[in-house]
């Protein structure tokens, strides 16, 4: 089953609006990563979070690692057309003895001009 629950699954906004998406899990993570993926391209790392409660910014992007280490949100302020894409949260988990990066379902962001 999906280890990370990401919402919303899609967003349709106007250029200039702010965006907020979040991920939750029943598992505890030591690292939380946010990626953006354009069609046919590899995920690009936006923000990495390592400490519970950590709030980190990268330009117009802000992300926070939940205090319980089970959730995170990503905010995008003043959206622009190049923000269009799919945003994934991800974190490393040990599953059946193997450490792997698990992903949320993704949030597809569409911006109306």
Partner 1 sequence: AAGVIQSPRHLIKEKRETATLKCYPIPRHDTVYWYQQGPGQDPQFLISFYEKMQSDKGSIPDRFSAQQFSDYHSELNMSSLELGDSALYFCASSPGGAIRETQYFGPGTRLLVL
Return d(Cα 57, Cα 70) in angstroms, integer: 20
1 belongs to the binding site for partner 1 (CB under 8 A) = no
Q: Which of residues 2-61 bind partner 1 (CB under 8 A)?
A: 30-31, 33, 35, 40-45, 48, 50
Strands 107-112, 10-14: parallel, antiparallel or unpaired by DSSP?
parallel
**Three-class secondary structure of residue 17 per DSSP:** coil
At 20 the three-state DSSP class reads: strand
Among 13, 54, 75, 92, the residue binding partner 1 under the rule CB under 8 A is 92
Residues that bind partner 1 (CB under 8 A): 30-31, 33, 35, 40-45, 48, 50, 88, 90, 92, 97-106
């Amino acid at each position: 089953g999906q280890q990370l629950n990401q919402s919303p699954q899609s967003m349709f906004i106007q250029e200039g609006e702010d965006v907020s998406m979040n991920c939750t899990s029943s598992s505890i993570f030591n690292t939380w990563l946010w990626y953006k993926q354009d069609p046919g391209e590899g995920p690009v790392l936006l923000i990495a979070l390592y400490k519970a409660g950590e709030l980190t910014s990268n330009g117009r992007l802000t992300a926070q690692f939940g205090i319980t280490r089970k959730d995170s949100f990503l905010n995008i302020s003043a959206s622009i057309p190049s923000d269009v894409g799919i945003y994934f949260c991800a974190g490393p988990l040990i599953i059946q003895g193997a450490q792997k990066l698990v992903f949320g379902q993704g949030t597809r962001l569409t911006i109306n001009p």
